[in-house]
Copies of this chain bind each other. A is one copy, B any other.
Amino acid sequence: MAPDPLSAKFAALADPTRRAILARLALGETSVSELAKPFAISLPAVSKHLKVLENAGLIGRSREAQWRPCRIEPVALKEVDGWLEQYRQLWEERFDRLDAYLKVLQAKQKKPRVRPKRRSPPR
């Protein structure tokens, strides 16, 4: 069974080489051989990664030019962003609570410094 589109995108992104390919394509479209250069892997291995990215809709390949340049399809990443959106509020709340907690800690740290001074005069 083929994975749903969102699962296919996440699976395609679960590989550092494929993410590096996307980062390169974010700079502009290029050929497969050009894409393969910085990687210590074979051209067929790069082609396999490109196939995964293409099937997930994350890249497109021109059918016009003979060298079939690859390009990133950033709108497909927007779908991933749309899924994340529902959780954004959760981590923002978490950071807000952490922030409030740090302020409490800082307030507590200030107090002990004041007390010893107050205790010293009666001696």
Contacts and interface: CB of A to CB of B under 8 A. Distances in A.
Within the oligomer, what is the number of copies of this chain?
Answer: 2
Nearest to A87: B77
Given A11-B11, A16-B7, A84 B90 contact: no
A37 interface: no
A8 to B, nearest CB: 8
A43 interface: no
Contact of A3 (B3, B7, B14): B14
A88 B78 CA distance: 8
A102 interface: no
A123 to B, nearest CB: 45
B81 A84 contact: yes
